[in-house]
Amino acid sequence: TTRPDAEERFYDFVVVSNRLPVDSVVGGDGRQRWTQSPGGLVAALEPVMQSRDGAWVGWPGQADLDLEPFDTDGMHLVPVPLSALEVEHYYEGFSNDTLWPLYHDVIAAPSFHREWWDTYRLVNTRFADRTAEVAAQGGLVWVQDYQLQLVPKLLRELRPDLTIGFFDHIPFPPYGLFSQLPWRTQVVEGLLGADVVGFQRDADAGNFQQAVRRLKGYATKGSHIEVPLVDTSPGVRVYGPIKRGQASRTVIAKKFPISIDAAFYREAAARPDIRARARQIRGDLGNPKTIMLGVDRLDYTKGIRHRLEAYGELLAEGRVNPEEVILVQVASPSRERVLSYMQLRDEIELTVGRINGDYSEIGHQAISYHHQNYPRDEMVALYLAADVMLVTALRDGMNLVAKEYVASRFDSDGVLVLSEFAGASDELTRAVLVNPHDIDGLKDAIMAAIELPARERESRMRYLRKRVFENDVEKWSSGFLHVLVHHHAIVASASAS
């Protein structure tokens, strides 16, 4: 499906993210092929890009791969190469062993290494340079996520003609945690290079504004931040509140909760082949009374351990009968060279092994565990087969799995157990909400979900579906881009007059 882009073009709309929507992987036979990239970011942006004639700048997912731009599935992709050392320092190191744990409530301890930071800066500069090369004059650039927080400022310096948006897919931490970061001021300055900085929740936008006030002293009012125009003369740095008459630009920081292509899930779930597959899954699992499902990247933020602990105790106490209930856990491989992820995998697989050892019978497992990636159609079949969906994240920017489950339940059945620490809980308020740290509370919530009467299930699911269909990914992207374009137009007309 891929072909090289014949000639370099300029694009009015450019998305920039760490990963391209396709990942280059080398199979066991030594041959290179493309797979869909993991994670919610790509799932959300793919339909946006397919409906616009834009370019997508990102890393092709493999070290030392220097490719020309190419087209795939109706998208123009502009690869940014990373060396093996850059993957180690920028991606595995600073992005996923410093920022990721720091921004997720320090569930794991963040590591601070100056050489990782140096590479993060270098790689962010490369992304900004490549974007500046492909963006058309006066174009619109939308930078994504925590791996690229310095890009907005770098890009503004290179190309002041561009309109720049930034969206943070993960939480933005409270100042008490963010302030641990030795390079906290540079990160805030990087983000303030955007015209609009989008977050998942009000709390994230509020945390960012607080960091701006504490570190830069800039005034914030509602979603507006007044940023003085930086004096570029050598040695001069502008700090503190804006003085009367001092030129400034306004940056908007507010929430734009991300979503999914809800219609895709509704339509897929209604397909006869996928419904038949859901029945087949149920049969293959031994036709249990209740199928519970967890679907996560294998990540310590997802609360998989807490879920297993609660389930293990319910089995031990006899509140759940292993002949009637099964937990299907899909844990897709993620960041496998980062130590905390390797340790997590060991812990989870030990626990799964123990629970299965204690409670499985021949021909019937307590937990059906899969360290694998499945195609989207298979996921929809799993969602349809699952009576109870367990989303027990300890901290999560949004959690699109929760929304995918809801969108797939065209039968208005099924119960969503949802952590209040996932951004999705702001909207999906009629899920069975849980604090996953409270194991007793989690156990009670799981029991309540298993036993919820059909009428109550239907009424809750109808409400959840309404919320997901009213706020789909189209609304997210058009909402963000509308604010971005509108804001830029106001700023431009004010500076012209």
Could you tell me if 200 and 423 are in contact, meaning their C-beta atoms sit under 8 angstroms apart? yes
Strands (E), 339-479: 367-370, 388-391, 415-419, 432-434
Query: CA 76 to CA 55: how far, in whole Å?
Result: 5
**For residue 116, what are the contacts with CB-CB under 8 A and spacing of at least 6?**
89, 90, 93, 94, 97, 98
CB of 249 to ligand F6P, least distance (A): 27
Binding-site string for ligand F6P from residue 313 to residue 342, where x marks contact by CB under 6 A and - marks none: ---------------------xx-------
- Indicate whether 60 belongs to the interface with ligand F6P (CB under 6 A): no
- Indicate whether 145 belongs to the interface with ligand F6P (CB under 6 A): yes
- Indicate whether 169 belongs to the interface with ligand F6P (CB under 6 A): yes
- Indicate whether 403 belongs to the interface with ligand F6P (CB under 6 A): no
Binding-site string for ligand F6P from residue 214 to residue 253, where x marks contact by CB under 6 A and - marks none: ----------------------------------------
Query: CA 252 to CA 226: how far, in whole Å?
Result: 9
- Alpha helix positions (H), 429-472: 439-451, 454-470
Q: CA torsion angle for 329, 332, 334, 337 (degrees, to 10)?
A: 80
Look up tokens 């996923």; give the residue.
96
Rg of the chain over Cα atoms, rounded to whole angstroms, equals 23
- Indicate whether 80 belongs to the interface with ligand F6P (CB under 6 A): no
- Indicate whether 39 belongs to the interface with ligand F6P (CB under 6 A): yes
The two structure tokens encoding residue 225: 């931040």
- Indicate whether 97 belongs to the interface with ligand F6P (CB under 6 A): no
- Indicate whether 201 belongs to the interface with ligand F6P (CB under 6 A): no
CB of 99 to ligand F6P, least distance (A): 10
| Residue placing its CB nearer to ligand F6P in the complex, 41 or 192 | 41
- Indicate whether 170 belongs to the interface with ligand F6P (CB under 6 A): yes
**Which part of the chain contacts ligand F6P (CB under 6 A), choosing from 32-40, 64-72, 76-84, 468-476?**
32-40
- Indicate whether 124 belongs to the interface with ligand F6P (CB under 6 A): no
Burial class (CB in 10 A: 0-12, 13-18, 19+), 16: buried
Task: Give the residue at shortest CB distance from ligand F6P.
Answer: 39
| Residue placing its CB nearer to ligand F6P in the complex, 414 or 423 | 423
3-state secondary structure of 169: coil
Binding site for ligand F6P (CB under 6 A): 18-19, 38-42, 145, 169-170, 334-335
